[in-house]
Structure 1
């Protein structure tokens, strides 16, 4: 709660962390034990699959350190590990309430620094300053 810029820096660094053990530590440091990460507006292919089954667009959700670690690891494997991209803060975090902060980020090409995607995460913190809920909105979804 006291340092939202530091929280945003650690949050962004987590998604770029190459060491699996350190990624797990960061998940435990950043999120509450029962913390939740919600992909609020899933990718188009997920929305299309839901529509074919006559379901409304589903939010995708993981809960707890183990599931959060798997989510972050998969994002790392898909977007960072190949070496072509990195996640960066795209703006200063915005404090919406004492316990709510908005973090805007970008995925940029490592060679050019050009932004190729991004999004906004709205983080609600617990009394210890750890993430209780993380609603992620991907730009262009």
Structure 2
């Protein structure tokens, strides 16, 4: 017998809202915010079962999420269609996609929710299994660089950067005397660039890899504070264990001077 499920008691009012939060949890790579989503979405003794990971309780479910994110670094989950519910039972169809939007895997999660709206249990089924090569390939590649910068999105950047760079990453940006160090500052510099030039687009003109370093010659366009502009540059990206450990960006365009000033102001305010 299916027990009664009082929708008015749920903390997340609609199935669509819950589905959005569930997907956000899978895409959140920052440890603190991801753990907050786990607590919001799952009961303390909830059980998640899938072919890639399994866990019972908040700690193990969070660890399962982190393991899948490491295995498919740089990928993102999105709904493949509307979620639906019957009583306490919930069905969420999903797609796992590359940065360029291509599908790596597809499946459906079936869960049961408690009267307060949180999941008591969920099982994840694959409709399309990920290819084994996708799980083992490097997190960063020239192709993924080109796909991201062809149409960069701040939310994608927030998820992507922690997966494709190493914790000890160092970046050398034009017009900046000191290097940018660590995942958080590396990501913030990119977000500051996208805030300064929201319509920025970069095209990879050519690239070559020698040893652990890849050289990318690119051209770019966008609208800065003084109007539309075109720019060119070269990135030298050094990779260790599949992720970026050093990035040197070479360009003499004034947009990068404006970016350096913007970042200095933002970081000075942050430190105050």
TM superposition score normalised by structure 2: 0.41
Residue of structure 2 in register with 1:87 after alignment: 77
- The 2-side partners of 1:32 and 1:70 are apart by 16
In structure 2, what is the Cα distance between the partners aligned to 1:86 and 1:61? Answer: 19
User: Does structure 1 residue 116 correspond to structure 2 residue 117?
Assistant: no
State which of 51, 63, 67 in structure 1 corresponds to 2:60.
Answer: 67
Task: State the SS of the aligned residue for 2:37.
Answer: helix
Q: TM-score, normalised by structure 1?
A: 0.78
Q: What is aligned with 1:77?
A: 70
Measure how far apart 1:35 and its partner are: 0.5
Unpaired runs of at least 5, structure 2: 1-6, 8-12, 130-272
> C-alpha separation between the residues in 2 aligned to 1:30 and 1:122?
14
Structure 1 moving runs of 4+ over 6 Å: none
How far the C-alpha of 1:87 sits from its partner, in A, is: 0.7
Matched, 1:28 2:19: no
Q: Higher relative contact order at CA 8 Å, sep ≥6: structure 1 or structure 2?
A: 1
Per-residue CA deviations over 1:70-102 (Å, capped at 9, x if unaligned) read 0011111211xx32x21111100021x221110
Report the count of equivalent residues: 118
> Partners of 1:75 and 1:106 in 2: how far apart?
14
Residue deviations 1:88-126 (CA, integer Å, cap 9, x gap): 11100021x221110000011212x12121110001000
1:106 aligns with 95
SS in 1 for 2:81: coil
Are positions 1:15 and 2:26 aligned together? Answer: yes
Find the counterpart in structure 2 of residue 52 from structure 1: none
Q: 1:38 Cα deviation (Å)?
A: 1.1
* Paired position in structure 1 for 2:156: none
Which residue in 2 is equivalent to 1:56? none
Distance of 1:76 and 1:3 partners within structure 2: 27
Equivalent in the alignment of 2:122: 134
The structure number with the bigger radius of gyration is 2
